[in-house]
Structure formats: C-alpha cells, structure tokens
Amino acid sequence: MKVSIPYIQNYVRKRLFLGLLGGSLLLVGLFAFALWYIIFYPGQSLMNQSLVLALVLLLSVTVVLAAMGLAGILLTLLASKRLSFLQGPMRVGVNIFFPVIIGLGKLFKIDVDRIKRSFIEVNNQMVRASVFRLAPEQLLVLVPHCLQNTECPHKITVKIDNCRRCGKCCIGNLLALRDRCGVRMGVATGGTLARKLIKDYRPRAVVAVACERDLTSGIQDSNPLPVLGVTNERPFGPCQNTFIDTGRVEDALKFFLAREGGR
C-alpha cells in the first residue's frame, strides 16, 4: 500500500527547520552586535579593535548572505519556482548554519532526526520547484545496503544484481522499478561510496534512499546536484532490515523523468 503523508504534516516539518534557521541567524547577529560593542569599549588596543572589527565584518557578511538565503528558500517554497540568483546565498544559509541549527534544536530539546526530516522536506520541495526533463540514464538511484535482509548470502554491496529477487526484502522491487524505468541504481554503504558512485555515474539528478542522518549529509555533500531524499522505515532499528515503500521512490523518479518536470 502506498504511504502518503498529509500536507499539514509536511508543512509543520518545513516550518521547524525554517524557524530554527531564522533563530540561528538571530543568535549569530546578536553575537556580531556584541563584538561590535566590544570594539568601542574603553581600554581596547588598536590591534584588538582591528581584529574584532574584521571578525564582525565577516560575521555580518555571512549573516546577510544567510538572511538572503532564508528569504530565497521562503520565496521558492511559496512560489514553487526556482530562483537562480539566490542559489548561492541559500547554500550559505543551509550549509554554514546547519551546525548552529542542530545546536539550537538540542537546546530546546528537539529531536535531531525531526530537524533533519524537516530539512529533507525543505530540500525536496526546493528541488520540485525546478523543471526537469531527464533521460533515464541521467538519473541515479542510491539505496542503502541495510535494505537487504541480513540473513541473505547474496551480498549486493559490490553488485546490486547479485540479488535473487526472492521477496524477503524490498531490493527485488527496487530492481524491478529500475528495469521498468531504465534508470541506474547503486548501493551505498556510506557517504564515501555514495560520492564515488556519483563521481563514476555523473548523473544530472539523484533519488536517494537512506536514514535522516545519511540523507542530510548526502544532500549537503552533493549540492548543487539536485537530490530528492526518501527516508527509509526502520522497524528493527537503524542499519538492519530497513524498508522502503517503492511507490515513494517511483514518485520521485516520475518527477525527474516526466516530460513536463512532473507538473
């Protein structure tokens, strides 16, 4: 049965990440203001004032760029249209401030995976704001090795076609989807191998299946390559006999492969 997530749930998830990003910008901005105040505090030497001023200017430029990036993300989500001139600031806003976002979330006792799911939701909608008309060979599907049944003797980490499609895990269904759509598919045991597969295949876009942690780092590492992330299900805990609804993967493939970019 195909899993669908209500729109309001997606909206709340995106709002969480964007709110934490805005809070992070505010914190760094206040820190820059505090440093600016220190510059003019009586008794500071000229060298100390110069060093602090340089740091303030660097932080100020970063905050301005990140603020432009946040505005770009909001406009992209609202208009469902890619804003090319704000892609650089958006990368600054997300990549540089992501550790601050995670730290701020921990301060408010927000589950880290929930923050990362929010980031993935934001990323996916930003990718869907663009129009793609890709040939199947231009698209790469990356899946984690933990989807395979742990008792299976036919390991797929080197060659995914070693799968016997016995039905005990969802790898066989994913291979059937690969064959039907004509796309390329690889198994990643971690970020290093995922980057190698992207380098070897040189795709125009990626559909990635993984947990929140691996998807978040993969999306950031692959930027500006468009990546649609699909989180896996973990009924037996992390990295063991995980599961993915192939219907969700098929929806992501259709977006990239549709003649009108999935619209």
Average confidence (pLDDT) over 170-186: 95
Query: What percentage of the chain exceeds 90 in pLDDT?
Result: 40
Q: How confident is the model at residue 43 (pLDDT cuts 50, 70, 90)?
A: low
Strand-pair category, 184-188 with 205-210: unpaired
For CA atoms 240, 245, 250, 251, give the dihedral sign: negative
Average confidence (pLDDT) over 33-56: 67
Q: How confident is the model at residue 4 (pLDDT cuts 50, 70, 90)?
A: very low
Is 89:73 a contact under the CB 8 Å cutoff?
no
Q: Determine the Cα–Cα distance for residues 147 and 19; give it in Å rounded to an integer.
A: 33
Reported as a single tens digit per residue, the pLDDT across 7-29 is: 334 444 777 887 888 888 788 77
- Put simply, whether the predicted model's pTM sits higher than 0.85 gets the answer no
Task: Note the pLDDT of residue 1.
Answer: 36
Task: Note the pLDDT of residue 206.
Answer: 97
Is 53:39 a contact under the CB 8 Å cutoff?
yes
Contacts of 167 (CB under 8 A, 6+ apart): none
Is 240:250 a contact under the CB 8 Å cutoff?
no
When the pLDDT of each residue in the chain is averaged and rounded to a whole number, the result is: 82
